[in-house]
Amino acid sequence: MTTSHENTENEDQTGNLVRAAIRKMVSESEVGETFEPAEVAQKVSRHSWQNILGDVRAEAVRLADVGEISIYRKGKPVDPRNFKGVWRLGKPGKEIVKRG
């Protein structure tokens, strides 16, 4: 996991900036509201966010595996271990409203 990003004020207790950013964005969203992985990456590093998109995906999979978040594709929750294409993150739920 990448931990040497510019925005260190939002680290979780493990020091993982990406996990902390995902948790914060999910906690601030409504059930059914989703957001793009790029939004998470940009919260962590405004200048090199493209470099951490892989970290965002890996952390999203971990959090989805334990039920903290859901990963959505075409408005439906997907298997966190088996999805391709454009995806979004959000709270576990059924109704989806795209944000942004």
Q: What CA–CA distance (Å, rounded) separates 43 from 76?
A: 25
CATH number of 17-98: 1.10.10.10
| CA dihedral sign, ordered 17, 10, 86, 46 | negative
Per-residue pLDDT of the chain (100 residues), as tens digits, is 444 444 434 555 556 999 999 999 999 998 889 999 999 999 999 999 999 999 999 999 999 999 999 999 999 999 999 999 999 999 997 645 555 5
pTM of the model as a whole: 0.80
